[in-house]
Structures are given as structure tokens and as C-alpha cells.
């Protein structure tokens, strides 16, 4: 300790002042400043030496917020225009060319005196150096691993107006090559964001004061003994920062977190040597309240309070939230081991959990300073409204903040997660890179493993299909699985998909997992009713269809003079006009390019209809298929491509289609054509899918066929004597003479009610009076036009849509004004 007067020591030693409890002092918030400078220049001019008595040197630094990010701090201060608006992100490419310094000046609570004090960083993106009061503490790399420093001898206890302790953090310039940091940082490029690598202090920073024996990790593993009893194995990692052995009491108290329960206790005297020590305490819970997904049961949560005592000396206390639940995996019925080798069905507490999933396309904002908790809360609420019971975090995106998992725990939404962001690249082959990634993975798994919502782990996303050496990538993720195996009991899959051409050549079985994206990327080569029924896989981890956000949302990020006809900012935000007009024609029989409103509405309806058709088809395959995931549920930036909820948390029209397709009890009309000639006999099948573990007897179903004017042309009623729990079954064939003439639409509405007349499920469909053969030819023509344009100008180059931006061989004078998209 430094500069403590005897008077202050006497004051802090009085009864009631020196606390015997662990003390946490949060350094997060708005009391930070930041400044940028060319790489390696900050230390040369002495930024790290700034002290409390020379604060004038940083008066011209801008104010900043932690947790947050550099871009958001610069935007708030007016040094950047909003990177999400128009093409402003391209104007901010100078930001990662600098190093960024963050400064926090503070006093510490006097109660911390005479305790061991550590400075803790929960997460910094991506690499940093740290100084406290001019003393260099160390360097850290890796976005997902927590790190800490013992600052017991560096902290000052004087009290001045602005604080006597000065914390200085130098953020290294943001990485520019994803392959060099993959696994320890997510890609900052993809098919809805390409511009800027995020950087910042994205998780909390705080001080902890405790004794010399600290709790570094707590892991609560539960084993069900019966329907209402469980055994808990509580693994505790202690760190003894003292050179000598200590005999301490390790105590655990377990009680209900969101319900009343008795307190279960267990304790033991343990001897801890210098360094890391691991102990396991066992505890039986005789009235166990289990944690379930929301469609299978209640979301009961417990807390485990772990305390380390040495007589009257209180060393440390940590409280961990967990759920009592067992997750097991079994093979999907209907497949042989030659077809599917991996178990793909998730059993939670012995019940099958069909995962109705959507990809969580990053945090609510790629800039974590704008990813407020209120956004997380609303997006989880909307996910449940859409009947998702699972969210998938795949390898393009980072692990989430603790609040996300807390919300999923409370909502009963399970998480299917890639351990680390490893996606679509050729991994480096040096040993140092591999060990750094494995270390980050172990840290991440240990940090998250108590969340009952996490039920399945994967190693990567699309890591084989585009790699120059897919065998090396496979070896890498197989070793990754072995590295994390001692730290988690969850099942691990090396990548997704496994059963594409490359995966099968690597030795995976042909019916494991597949990304059902060919309809989107096929440029009119397929139609949905031919494509999706041809797929026979245990799981569909990704099903991608795009659409525009709502008109009012578009106006928030597209400049007014580019809104309609569409200007280049549409292209910058990943508008694939050819894909959208192709999908519009497939679903609606019209490319819908007459106006902004019509085009936007058509893209959302097309996305919704295709999602609904595919989701309902794959759900009727249960238990042969055990999971289906749309791509995406959300994205982390305003874009013209993915998501059924846009960046501004506004629902698209496609949201309701997914909500209907994901009803836990679903009445669905299977149909193998969407286009029917006038007077033809439409044929379909009524199925019911029940994801609940509840049997329904004596139900009634109603089907109505409606013409182009929404007038009923036929209505039928059926008795369904029994709908089994956890089932999918066909009940009856249905038919109707197709009303109207070519160019019309006709509609189907279905409803299922239980024996008491309560509605179990409603559904509806829009079909076309059209010539399928002719329309498929038109669709293919549109697709070939799109293919040829991409071949000529580049698949990812949106300039192909804007002659004035150089997509044509010559540019005339008129083209020099703001160009608009071809054909709009």
C-alpha cells in the first residue's frame, strides 16, 4: 500500500470499518476518457505516465463509456458520423489504424485496506496493455478470456477530488486479418457487414478485495436421481496466493433463486497449497425443481454460494446461478449408422427437445457500446413470441454477454452454440496459434457452463466447405473438442454442416447436417416445394432467405435521396436485388418493383412464405429430423438481407409466418405444389405436430378454402380422436377445385381446437392460380440473368447494380449524379 497516514490506518482499523466480506468496486460507467494516436506513439510521449496530479494533460481527451467500444465513443463525441448510416462506415476506416488509450481516475473504498486487491477485466477486444499509477501490469490478447492483475501494492488510498488512482489502458490497433485472430475474435466481415473491425473494452472492469485464498471457478454438475431428487457435484477451483499451506473451510449453500426452497449446505476442511487447488463437494437435493425449456416445463433456477473461511478470516465468496437439469444426446430414429453417425436429438431431463431455432446474428449491435440491455430484453421477448425454443450462436459471431444467457435461462430458451468464432476460413497451422485458441476456448467454456440454457456445442461454422486445406481444419476442431472435454459434459460437434460434398469427402456420413440454402443461392434453379422435400438430414442448422427491413427502418439508415429508386447505400448494406426479385417472383408471381412499399412488402412475404413452408415440412419429419434453424433471427447492423426482426427491433411480415410455423402444437397442410391451374383439384394433407408432452383427445379440425376475394368456396370439419404427446402425424387428405383464373391467388385457413373448444393452433396459406411449368421457366430466366451479371461484375460487388459507379464499360455525364439500381 502507498501513502497511508497513521491516522488513516487507525480510522480504517476501527470496528465496523474493515469489512470481513469480499468487496467489489465497479470501474464501469461514464467516468472514462479516451484518445487515439498512431501505433506505438502513446508510450513514446508518456500517456502511460499520466498521474492524478497532472490531469491537465488529458483535459482534451473525449469522454468515454465502459463497457463499450471505440467507434461508439467517437460517434458520441462527434468525431464520427453514425457508421450505420448510408456508407459512413467506409469513412471510418481510419479508426483501426490507430491505437486507443482509455483512462479512468478513481479513489477506492477504504474498506479495501489490508486486503488482497485485484484488477479484473471481463473482456477486452482484442489486445491491450495495462498500467496503474504508472506501473506496467501486463499485456493481454483474446476477446473472450477474463484476465486480472494483483494490484495490492499499487493501489493508492488517498482521497482527492478526481481520484488518486490512474488506470491507463492501451488498446492495440484492431486486427486487420481475421485468420490471424480467429477463435479469439469473430470475423468483422460477412454478407451483411464488411467495413470495420470492432475494438473496445466490451465487458466490465472492476476491483475485487478479498483474502489470499480466492475462488477462481465454480462448476455445478447435476445428476437426476429421480423425478424430484438430484445429486450435485460442485467443483471449486481455489487459488492460494500465499507461499504457505493453509487449512480453510470450504462451504457451499444452495437454495432456490426464483422460488422458495430450503437451504442445502455442505462444507469441508481442505488444505490448499500455493497455486491452484481443485476440490469437489457433493450435495443431495431431495426436492429438486428442474429447469426446462419453456415448452416442456418451468425454468427453476438455483444459486450456489461458495465461501472460503479461515477461522474468523473471510477469504472469498462467489455466488453462481445454475439450473438442475440433465442433457443427453441420442441418435435420430430412422437413420442407420451409415447415414448418421452423430447423436442429434437433445434430451432434457429425459424428454426430447425438438429445437425450433434461429441464428442469433451477433449481439444487438456490432458496436457493443450500443448493445444496451434493453435491446437484449426485447429481442429475447420477441424470440419467445415467435415460438423459438432455441437460439443458435454460430461461428460468425461472438459468445454473448452474461445478461443474454441470464435472459435465456429465465425465458426457457436453449442455446446451441459454437464454442468460439471459427468460420469460413483456412486456419493457420502454427502451434502457438492453436494453443492460444484452445486456451481461449477453455476460458469461455468455464465462464458459461453453469447456464442451463446451453445444451449443444459446436466447434465451427462452414469451416470445411471453402478451406484450402479442409483436413487441417477438421484436425484442428477435433483437437479443440478434446481440449474442452474435461470442462464440460455437453455434446460437441466439430462443425456445421457435416454432410455437404466436402464434409462427406472428409468422412462424415451423408445425412448428418446440411445448410438448406440452395433455394436462396440457386438463382431460380429450384422452387420451394421441389427443393425442401428432397432434403433428408438429421438436422438443418441453417436455412437462409433474405428480405428488406420495414420502410420506416430503411429511412433511418438510407439517405433520403437514395431511398427510391435505390441508391448505392442499398448495395453497401448488402441488397442482392437479383435474389430478392427472384424470390418475389417465386412466391408472388411478380417481381414487385413498382414502388418502395410494394418491393419491401413482397420481399418480407416471400421470406415468410418460404420459411413457413420449409419449417413446417421439417417439423413433420420429427423425430427423424430433430432441429431446424432459420438464418437469421436478427443481425447486428442495419442490412437489406437477413433477419425476421430488423436491427431496430421491428418485426418484419415474415416474423408472423415463422411464429405460425413454430407453434408448439402445429396444424399444417402439407402441399407439394403452390401453383395450380384454374379448375384443377388441389390436393394436400393435414398433419399435426405436437412438441408438448401432453396428449390431446377428441380434437376437431376445420379447413376453409377461399378465392381471390377471400370468399369461402369450401369448408370441411374433421374429428381427430387423439394427438399423441411429442408426435408428428398425418390425419387426413384434403382437396378443393382451384377457384379463379390465371393470375389470381387462393387461400387456405386451418384451425385445430381441443375437446373443450379452446384453440390449439391456427394456420393459413397463400397459393397461386398459375402455370407452374411456365413460371419455372421465367424464374430460371431471371436467375440466369442474375448469374451472368455476377459473373461479369463479381459476386460481392454491388457496383454491378449501379452503372454510374463503374459497373459498365463507359460512364456518361448523367451517370455522374447519384446512380440508382438497375431496373428500379
pLDDT digits (tens, 9 = 90+) for 72-98: 999 999 999 999 999 999 999 999 999
% of the chain surpassing 70 pLDDT = 96
Which residue, 482, 532, 474, is CA-closest to 507? 474
For the chain, give every domain's residue range.
6-210, 213-322, 345-649, 667-772, 794-824
Residue 63 has a CB neighbour count (10 Å cut-off) of 12
CB-hemisphere CA count at 13 Å for 598?
A: 11
Looking at every residue in the chain, the average pLDDT score rounds to 94
Sheet holding 414-418, edge to edge: 492-493, 454-458, 414-418, 390-393, 355-361, 627-635, 539-544, 513-515
pLDDT of residue 52: 85
Measured between alpha carbons, how far is 184 from 480 in angstroms, rounded to an integer?
13
Nearest to 457 by CA among 409, 495, 510, 400: 495
pLDDT of res. 3:
45
> Residue 356: is its pLDDT beyond 50?
yes
What is the mean pLDDT of the segment spanning 772-780?
96
Give the number of other CB atoms < 10 A from CB of residue 480: 24
Residues 6+ apart with CB under 8 A from 411: 294, 299, 380, 381, 383, 384
Q: Sorting pLDDT into bands at 50, 70 and 90, what band is 789?
A: confident
DSSP secondary structure string for all residues of 26-76: E--EEEEEEEEESTTHHHHHTGGG--GGGGGGGTTSEEEEES--HHHHHHH
Predicted pLDDT at 55: 64
Equal fold, 213-322 vs 345-649:
no
Confidence of residue 809 (pLDDT cuts 50, 70, 90): low
> Which sign, positive or negative, has the C-alpha torsion 197, 95, 368, 608?
negative
CA 271/CA 310 separation, integer angstroms: 11
In this structure, the chain runs to a length of 824
Q: How far apart are CA 497 and CA 541, in angstroms?
A: 7
CA 673/CA 164 separation, integer angstroms: 74
Its CATH architecture, for the domain 6-210, is Sandwich (2.60)
CATH of domain 345-649: 3.20.20.80
Q: Which of 523, 473, 462, 531 is nearest to 498 (CA)?
A: 462
Superfamily of domain 213-322: Immunoglobulins (2.60.40.10)
**Cα torsion through 426, 489, 511, 527, rounded to 10:** -80
Q: Quick one: cell of 146?
A: 477474463
**C-alpha cell at position 94:** 481510419
Per-residue confidence band for 790, with pLDDT thresholds at 50, 70 and 90: confident
CA atoms of 122 and 105, how far apart (whole Å)? 19
Architecture of 667-772 per CATH? Answer: Sandwich (2.60)
DSSP annotation of 798:
G
Mean pLDDT on 567-575 = 95
Q: Among the listed ranges 183-197, 242-256, 803-817, which one has the minimum average pLDDT value?
A: 803-817
pLDDT at residue 10 in the model: 40
* pLDDT at residue 13 in the model: 37
Q: How much of the chain, in percent, has pLDDT values that exceed 90?
A: 88
- Neighbouring CB atoms inside 10 A of 226's CB total 8
| Number of helices (H), then strands (E), in the chain | 18, 36
Averaged pLDDT for residues 109-126: 95
At 786, list the grid cell: 442474375
Judged on CB neighbours under 10 Å (0-12, 13-18, 19+), 10 is exposed
- Work out the burial of residue 678: count CB atoms within 10 Å of its CB; fewer than 13 is exposed, 13-18 middle, 19 or more buried: middle
pLDDT of residue 247: 94
- Tell me 634's DSSP state: E
Say what the pLDDT of residue 20 is: 63
The C-alpha cell of 610 is what? 418460404
CA atoms of 614 and 623, how far apart (whole Å) = 16
Amino acid at each position: 500500500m502507498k501513502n497511508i497516514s497513521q491516522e488513516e490506518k487507525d480510522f480504517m482499523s476501527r470496528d465496523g470499518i474493515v469489512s470481513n466480506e469480499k468487496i467489489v468496486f465497479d470501474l464501469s460507467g461514464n467516468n472514462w476518457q479516451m484518445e487515439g494516436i498512431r501505433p506505438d506513439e502513446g508510450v513514446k510521449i508518456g500517456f502511460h505516465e499520466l498521474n492524478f496530479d497532472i490531469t491537465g494533460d488529458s483535459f482534451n481527451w473525449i469522454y468515454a463509456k465502459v463497457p463499450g467500444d471505440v467507434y461508439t465513443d467517437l460517434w458520441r463525441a462527434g468525431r464520427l458520423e453514425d457508421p450505420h448510416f448510408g456508407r459512413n462506415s467506409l469513412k471510418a476506416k481510419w479508426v483501426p489504424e490507430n491505437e486507443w488509450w482509455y483512462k479512468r481516475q478513481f479513489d477506492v473504498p477504504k474498506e479495501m485496506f489490508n486486503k488482497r486487491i485485484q484488477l479484473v477485466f471481463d473482456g477486452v477486444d482484442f489486445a491491450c496493455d495495462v498500467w496503474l499509477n504508472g506501473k506496467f501490469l501486463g499485456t493481454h490478447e483474446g476477446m473472450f478470456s477474463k484476465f486480472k492483475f494483483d494490484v495490492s501494492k499499487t493501489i493508492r488510498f488517498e482521497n482527492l477530488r478526481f481520484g488518486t488512482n490512474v488506470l491507463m489502458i492501451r488498446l492495440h490497433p484492431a486486427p486487420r486479418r481475421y485468420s490471424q485472430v480467429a477463435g479469439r475474435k469473430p470475423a468483422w466481415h460477412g454478407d451483411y457487414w464488411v467495413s470495420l473491425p470492432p475494438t473496445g473494452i466490451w465487458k466490465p472492469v472492476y476491483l475485487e478485495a478479498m483474502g489470499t485464498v480466492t475462488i477462481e471457478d465454480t462448476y455445478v454438475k447435476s445428476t437426476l436421481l429421480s423425478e424430484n431428487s438430484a445429486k450435485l457435484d460442485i467443483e471449486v477451483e481455489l487459488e492460494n496466493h500465499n507461499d504457505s499451506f493453509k487449512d480453510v473451510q470450504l462451504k457451499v449453500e444452495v437454495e432456490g433463486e426464483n422460488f422458495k426452497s430450503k437451504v442445502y449446505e455442505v462444507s469441508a476442511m481442505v488444505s490448499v497449497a500455493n497455486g491452484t487447488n481443485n476440490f469437489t463437494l457433493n450435495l443431495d437435493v431431495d426436492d429438486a425443481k428442474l429447469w426446462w425449456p419453456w415448452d416442456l416445463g418451468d425454468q427453476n433456477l438455483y444459486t450456489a454460494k461458495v465461501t472460503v473461511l479461515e477461522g474468523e478470516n473471510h477469504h472469498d465468496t462467489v455466488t453462481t446461478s445454475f439450473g438442475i437439469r440433465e442433457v443427453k444426446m441420442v441418435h435420430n430414429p430412422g437413420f442407420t449408422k451409415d447415414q448418421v453417425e452423430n447423436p442429434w436429438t437433445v434430451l432434457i431431463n429425459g424428454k426430447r427437445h425438438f429445437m425450433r431455432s434461429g441464428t442469433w446474428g451477433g449481439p444487438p449491435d456490432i458496436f457493443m457500446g450500443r448493445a444496451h440491455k434493453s435491446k437484449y430484453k426485447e429481442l429475447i421477448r420477441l424470440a419467445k413470441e415467435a415460438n423459438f425454443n432455441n437460439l443458435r450462436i454460430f461461428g460468425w459471431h461472438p459468445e454473448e454477454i452474461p445478461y443474454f444467457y441470464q435472459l435465456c435461462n429465465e425465458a426457457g430458451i436453449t442455446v446451441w452454440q459454437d464454442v468460439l468464432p471459427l468460420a469460413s476460413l483456412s486456419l493457420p497451422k502454427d502451434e502457438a496459434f492453436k494453443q492460444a485458441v484452445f486456451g481461449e476456448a477453455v476460458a469461455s467454456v468455464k465462464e458459461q457452463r453453469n447456464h442451463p440454457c446451453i445444451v449443444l456445442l459446436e466447434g465451427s461454422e462452414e469451416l470445411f466447405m471453402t478451406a484450402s486445406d479442409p483436413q487441417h481444419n477438421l484436425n484442428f476442431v477435433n483437437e479443440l473438442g478434446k481440449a474442452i472435454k474435461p470442462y464440460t459434459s455437453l455434446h460437441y460437434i466439430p462443425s456445421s454442416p457435416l454432410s455437404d460434398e466436402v464434409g462427406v469427402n472428409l468422412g462424415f456420413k451423408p445425412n448428418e447436417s446440411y445448410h438448406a440454402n440452395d433455394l436462396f443461392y440457386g438463382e431460380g434453379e429450384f422452387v420451394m416445394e421441389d427443393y425442401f422435400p428432397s432434403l433428408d438430414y438429421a438436422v438443418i442448422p441453417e436455412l437462409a432467405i433474405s428480405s428488406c427491413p420495414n420502410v420506416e427502418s430503411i429511412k433511418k439508415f438510407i439517405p433520403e435521396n437514395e431511398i427510391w429508386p435505390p441508391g448505392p447505400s442499398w448495395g453497401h448494406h448488402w441488397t442482392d436485388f437479383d435474389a430478392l426479385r427472384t424470390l418475389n417472383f417465386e412466391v408472388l408471381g411478380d417481381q414487385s418493383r413498382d414502388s418502395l412499399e410494394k418491393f419491401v412488402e413482397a420481399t418480407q412475404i416471400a421470406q415468410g412464405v418460404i420459411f413457413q413452408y420449409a419449417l413446417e415440412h421439417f417439423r413433420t419429419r420429427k423425430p427423424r429430423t430433430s432441429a431446424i434453424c432459420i438464418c437469421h433471427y436478427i443481425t447486428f447492423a442495419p442490412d437489406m438481407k437477413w433477419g425476421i426482426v430488423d436491427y431496430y427491433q421491428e418485426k418484419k411480415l415474415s416474423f408472423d409466418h415463422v411464429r405460425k410455423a413454430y407453434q408448439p402444437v402445429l396444424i399444417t397442410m402439407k402441399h407439394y405444389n403452390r401453383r395450380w391451374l384454374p379448375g384443377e383439384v388441389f390436393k394436400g394433407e393435414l398433419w399435426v405436430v405436437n412438441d408438448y408432452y401432453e396428449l390431446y383427445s377428441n380434437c376437431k379440425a376445420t379447413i376453409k378454402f377461399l378465392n381471390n376475394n377471400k370468399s369461402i368456396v369450401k369448408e370441411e370439419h374433421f374429428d381427430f380422436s387423439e394427438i399423441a404427446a411429442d408426435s408428428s402425424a398425418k390425419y387426413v387428405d384434403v382437396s378443393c377445385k382451384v377457384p379463379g383464373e390465371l393470375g389470381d391467388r387462393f387461400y387456405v385457413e386451418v384451425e385445430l381446437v381441443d375437446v373443450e373448444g379452446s384453440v390449439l393452433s391456427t394456420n393459413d396459406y397463400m397459393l397461386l392460380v398459375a402455370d407452374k411449368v411456365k413460371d419455372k421457366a421465367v424464374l430460371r430466366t431471371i436467375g440466369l440473368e442474375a448469374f451472368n451479371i455476377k459473373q461479369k461484375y463479381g459476386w460481392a460487388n454491388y457496383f454491378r447494380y449501379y452503372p454510374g459507379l463503374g459497373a459498365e464499360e463507359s460512364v456518361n455525364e448523367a451517370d455522374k449524379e447519384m446512380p440508382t439500381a438497375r431496373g428500379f
